[in-house]
Amino acid sequence: MKNDIIAKANNILDFKQKPIVGFSPGRVNLIGEHLDYNGGYVLPCTLDIGTYGVAALRSDRWVCCYSANFPYKGTVKFNLDRLIYQKDDAWANYVKGIVKELRPEYGFDLFVQGNIPPGAGLSSSASLEILVGTMVNTLFNLHYSRLDIVKMAQKAENNFIGVQSGIMDQFVIGMTCKKAAMLLNTNTLEYRFIDVKLKDYSLIIGNTNKSRALQDSKYNERRNECRCGLKLLRKKYPIANLCELSLNDLKDSNDIIADKLIYRRLRHVISENERTLAAYNALKNGDLPYFGELLNQSHQSLRNDYEVTGFELDTMVSLFQKYGSIGARMTGAGFGGCMIALVPNQTKDKIAEKVKADYEKITKLVPELYKIQIEDGAKIL
């Protein structure tokens, strides 16, 4: 794979210096949705699908980028002295954003090719940001730590791209060093790994093929609703983040939250935080039926209280549950994209076949289903 991608890249960009090759995975969040910007716990893992990159030094201050996933865009060029967001540059804006944070002295040539379905909610943008950060850090011997790159990537996403995402995606992709899931406290950035032993079950990712773009979704609206709720709760509790509270704390705060919509948003956030800790313990104890039930509860909360699922996600989740999954939920920001399901190994092929047929009939969309393989994080190959 390494030699093939170098040859392909060199045919397009004609590297003048010896290139390096890197890989940055996508991620799926097992549970803990919309908590990373609320100071809560999340439980993601990195995947064996992701973004490959080939990069080589230049002697000027130009950066030349080419993506095999968007060949119609051709080679996108920009100068280090003029790093501005331009809509026509599309995917290359993510490169600009992280480069603006890294501040290399010279430019470079960059070829990327990924196999993460775009718009599926498996963090193709964070994968690209961490890939570029890791490769530029290596190319220029900048000596940034993994955590430095993670924070720069989040800053690029927030300030340059304009998506007010939390740190989870960049953190798990940049910091994972073994094939395991990560329990991450997004408030303190403390984390621990846990081996995911599924025994007689498998996790399947279901891509609804209902694409979504975070910039155009209600992601930022939900974040603002959480800010509004936090402001109200601070009248009663000295807290920095919503996830410092329990459900009992929220129930005792009805008098200061008159807006029922805001209350539902807060109920999802706080209950999801409690579910994530319970899910970690369920995996630790090998209690897969309970882990599956927590997945079901999570989707119900995301559908009813946070309202970020939609027809396609709800349809696919309900079909998996109908045909034998012991747990299923949307994953990612929502509004389309992907879901995950915990299914028995003995019947997983039959379940997948029935879900695909019914989903296509109901939605007129052709889904993609694939088994999760957990991988380690971003690296130079």
Q: Are 272 and 33 in contact (CB under 8 A)?
A: yes
Which candidate in 14, 36, 48, 169 is catalytic? Answer: 169
Q: Are 342 and 70 in contact (CB under 8 A)?
A: no
Does 60 qualify as catalytic in the annotation?
A: no
Cα 175 from Cα 329, distance rounded (Å): 25
Cα 115 from Cα 132, distance rounded (Å): 16
CB-based burial of residue 330 (10 Å sphere; 0-12 exposed, 13-18 middle, 19+ buried)?
A: buried
Strands 108-114 and 62-67: parallel
Q: Are 239 and 245 in contact (CB under 8 A)?
A: yes
Cα 242 from Cα 240, distance rounded (Å): 7
Cβ count within 10 A of residue 66: 22
309, amino acid identity: T
**Which long-range contacts (C-beta less than 8 Å, at least 24 apart) are formed by 294-297?**
294/31, 294/327, 295/30, 295/31, 295/327, 295/328, 295/329, 295/340, 295/341, 295/342, 296/321, 296/327, 296/328, 296/329, 297/271
Catalytic residue positions, numbered: 169
